[in-house]
Amino acid sequence: MEHYPNSYYFNSINRSLVKHETLNGDYHCDVCVIGGGFSGLSTAIEAAKLNLSVILIEKNKIAWGASGRNGGQIFPDVSWGIDKIESKYGYDLARKIWDISINGVNLIDERIKEFNIDCDKKSGGILAATNSRKFKEFEEEKEYLSKKYKFNHSEILDKKDIEREIGSKRYFGGFLFKNAGHLHPLKYALGLADAALSLNVKIFESSPAVKINNGKNSIEIISNAGKVTAKNLAVCCNAYIKGLNLGIESKIMPVDTYIVGTRPLSPNLQGSVLPNDYCVSDTNFDLNYYRLSENKNMLFGGGVSYSLKNVEGLKLRTKKQLVKVFPQLSDTPIEFLWGGLIAISLNRVPNIGQLSDKIFYAQGFSGHGVAFTGIAGKIIASSIFSGKTSELESFEKIKHNNFPGGRVFRMPILVTISAMQRMMDIFNA
């Protein structure tokens, strides 16, 4: 089992964490969940609430993957954009997906309150336009969402407004989502694990699923030293699904993303960068995303990496992006650097579905996992309990193609596409 990365998140939690035992022996349950991140924990919680017996197995530790490493940002919508879904699939389906995304945002607050989870939750998030064309699109999008989706929890920020909210001259304007926000993802995930335990979910760490046997009436999930026989299976591995051979791995691409954490900022510096404590994502293809932690560290993620593994190189590259946005932080030391895998789908829409009458899955959240994983788990649990829900059917209507080139060539293809998009970002800036 691998340890948590040396991130700001790991260094700001109680180190005397509850350690879950390893699967050893044979167990039986109604639902087995593979994966101890947001989507797996959510599935477990919701299934337990429906009086189903639940066992969750995790290869490493709870929230060891993206759920304990991400930027902690909560935004409605999907990466592809709800307008694009409407254009391809029609208003009714787009409206269904939009409503699900809003419910996903609201579900976080509901669970924090229900289970008394301390996770440094703050409200408000900004999409920042890196060029005038993007800002014009924001103005059009606000009107579109207001008229067609009755969404009135947003505000357009012109250049003067965004310089007031973000202490940077880099942006042409912004889109403030008042119902967006940010949190400490590792604290939140560990809080969900405690919630699951309180509902009698059995959690096993250091227990990888090495083989799945799909029988007529049950499913066997084989681990190194034990076995779970379940009536239903929820596969919530996301970027870490490799090796399970379920036929869905090719529909996602795992990519590395990295975050630096600065030394805590002085009150003056805090006020000069993010005075209202909003989180921010910009509009570049390889976007920058950032926020202040509860301890006022600047947590700044800058783009993705497909091959760069040198730690000092990554730190320098991300610090360079940070200083481009906030020159006033040029002398602020970097205390943390960490990264991890996220899974993107080809169309940037979450891939939630059903492989058989007993096997369900959720993956490919494409940077919107904090908001979407919780509601994905609820959709899966409801479908297990009462049959396929309309929400699950909605996601299954969205076609998910395999990444081109198979395992050998899809990475080079994606690198090429990413390089082209970076050039477009530069010339449109």
Cross-strand bridge partners of residue 137: none
Q: Give residue 109's pLDDT.
A: 98
- The answer on 85 and 15 residing in a single domain is yes
Q: Give residue 423's pLDDT.
A: 45
- The answer on 113 and 135 residing in a single domain is no
Mean pLDDT of the chain: 91
- The answer on 85 and 187 residing in a single domain is yes
Dihedral sign for Cα 275, 280, 284, 288, please: positive
Q: Establish if 243 belongs to a structural domain.
A: yes
Q: Establish if 297 belongs to a structural domain.
A: yes
Cα–Cα distance between 122 and 116 in angstroms, integer?
Answer: 15
Q: Number of folded domains in the chain?
A: 2
Q: What are the tens digits of pLDDT across the range 117-173?
A: 999 999 999 999 999 999 999 999 999 999 999 999 999 999 999 999 999 999 999
Q: Establish if 413 belongs to a structural domain.
A: no
Task: Determine the number of helices (DSSP H) and then strands (DSSP E) in the chain.
Answer: 11, 17
Nearest in space to 377 (alpha carbons), one of 67, 43, 34, 41:
43
- The answer on 115 and 94 residing in a single domain is yes
- The answer on 188 and 172 residing in a single domain is no
Report, as an integer, the average pLDDT of 32-56.
98
- pLDDT-derived band at 426 (thresholds 50, 70, 90) equals very low
DSSP string, 303-341: EEESS---HHHHHHHHHHHHHHH-GGGTTPPEEEEEEEE
Cα–Cα distance between 333 and 368 in angstroms, integer?
Answer: 29
Q: Establish if 239 belongs to a structural domain.
A: yes
Q: Establish if 222 belongs to a structural domain.
A: yes
Instruction: Provide the whole-model pTM.
Output: 0.93
Report, as an integer, the average pLDDT of 367-372.
91
Cα–Cα distance between 38 and 371 in angstroms, integer?
Answer: 10
CATH code of 385's domain: 3.50.50.60
Q: What are the tens digits of pLDDT across the range 213-228?
A: 998 899 999 999 999 9
- The answer on 139 and 10 residing in a single domain is no
> With DSSP H G I counted as helix, E B as strand and the rest as coil, what are the percentages for the chain, rounded to 5?
40, 25, 35
Q: Give residue 412's pLDDT.
A: 57
- The answer on 83 and 23 residing in a single domain is yes
Q: Establish if 411 belongs to a structural domain.
A: no
- Boundaries of domain holding 359: 1-120+183-253+343-398
The answer, yes or no, to whether residue 310 has pLDDT greater than 70, is no
